[in-house]
Amino acid sequence: MVTATAQTAWDLLAAVPDPEIPVLSVVDLGIVRAVEESADGRRVVVTLTPTYSGCPATEVIARDVRTALEASYDEVEVRTQLSPAWTTDWLSDKAKEKLHGFGIAPPAGRVTLPLVDVGAPVGCPQCGSRDVEELAGFGSTPCKALWRCRSCREPFDYFKTH
Amino acid sequence: MSPTSEPLLTYADGALVLSHRLSEWMSNAPTMEEDIALGNIALDLLGQARGLLQSLGDEDQLAYFREPQEFRNPLLCELPNGDFAHTMIRQLFADAWFAEVWPALVADESADAQVRGVAEKAVKENAYHWRHSSAWVIRLGDGTEESQRRTQDALDALWPYRGEVASDEWYARIEPVLDEATLTTPGRDAWTQRSSADGWHTEHLGYLLAEMQSLARAHPGATW
């Protein structure tokens, strides 16, 4: 799917941040399912998969993707693909490192279905202690839960394995 | 509305109406964490409802311009929030219902691709909602004397509304939770309400829709 020219689109997408976790690009997040470019390189179709059904960032992301690509393409189409459903398994290792550096504990392990648990952070993203506890199953965005470190006492977000 | 789409409308309306109810807790939940949790769950349900409504027609038209008697949500979903115990028992009942609904849609090869896509995502979201509601019902039921009494009151009040969502699978899902929560029910055979499929609703739905639909009706076709 990635031709020499579609690389332009991928490079532009790699610079579109998630509006709520700006340390990650939409490519890091694993929501870009496909990029197709016309033979003359003037038209591009990008297929995105939403993270959560009601995630308010979804529409902002589609708009940001369109705006970014319009810099290099005459015609941009953003499509939505629901199946297969997005999973944190699609986060790259690089994305997980970025999350950690941003103070968000990355998802631990891989998703197993049926989903019975969303895992637990390996450690505190601030001090590295493994002595952590869940404060609440839901956090500031649909993809996160609220945890606390018992060593340094800092609360932190955990990106749920989902 | 074709007969085959009726069950879908029931799921869509159930998710939509329940989402609106949960959103009424915003800024009023017992704790900040619960405010956020109920908001997150409401958002998931709203997204699920939108996905299904889009497969049935114009989502805004369906959500904002139908009358109460045209809604097909189970009565359970429209009941007022009551206290936190009522909200959690209602959520337990609804989550257990959706736990059956979504996997069935995923497995239904004759279903629309959009619908199956919505369901595929919703399966995981629902599992997480269930984790939340079942944990709360256990904590409240097997809690203090007051929380036990109020959760039992909520269960007694809502039990008659299980008719549209209950199945053997549903009972098998909630009974162990209620047992662990030290709560008792009048049993599977006790009388139950069942009428939203005919367009009959409680008086509460009209008030809910009046609020939910007022903006769209005052400014039809308005966009941000």
What ranges do the domains of chain B cover?
3-185+194-218
With an 8 Å Cβ cutoff, is B99 touching chain A? no
| Confidence category of residue B79, pLDDT binned at 50, 70, 90 | very high
Residue B194 has pLDDT above 90, yes or no: no
pLDDT at residue number B104 = 97
CATH topology of domain A4-80: GMP Synthetase; Chain A, domain 3 (3.30.300)
Residue A137 and residue B132: Cβ atoms within 8 Å? Answer: yes
Q: Nearest chain B Cα to A56, which residue?
A: B43
Return the domain boundaries, chain A: 4-80, 93-159
pLDDT higher than threshold 70 for residue B151: yes
Distance between B38 CA and the closest CA of chain A, angstroms: 9
User: Mean pLDDT throughout B101-115?
Assistant: 95
Rounded to the nearest integer, the mean pLDDT of chain A is 91
Interface residues of A toward B, Cβ cutoff 8 Å, are: 50, 52-56, 81-86, 111, 113-118, 135-140, 142, 146, 160, 162
Which pLDDT band, with edges at 50, 70 and 90, does B2 fall under? Answer: very low
Confidence check: pLDDT of B197 > 80: no
Classify domain B3-185+194-218 by CATH number: 1.20.1260.10
At B217, which amino acid appears? R
The answer to whether the CB of B45 falls within 8 A of the CB of B22 is: yes
* Closest chain B residue to the Cα of A134, Cα to Cα: B33
Q: What is the ipTM of this complex?
A: 0.87
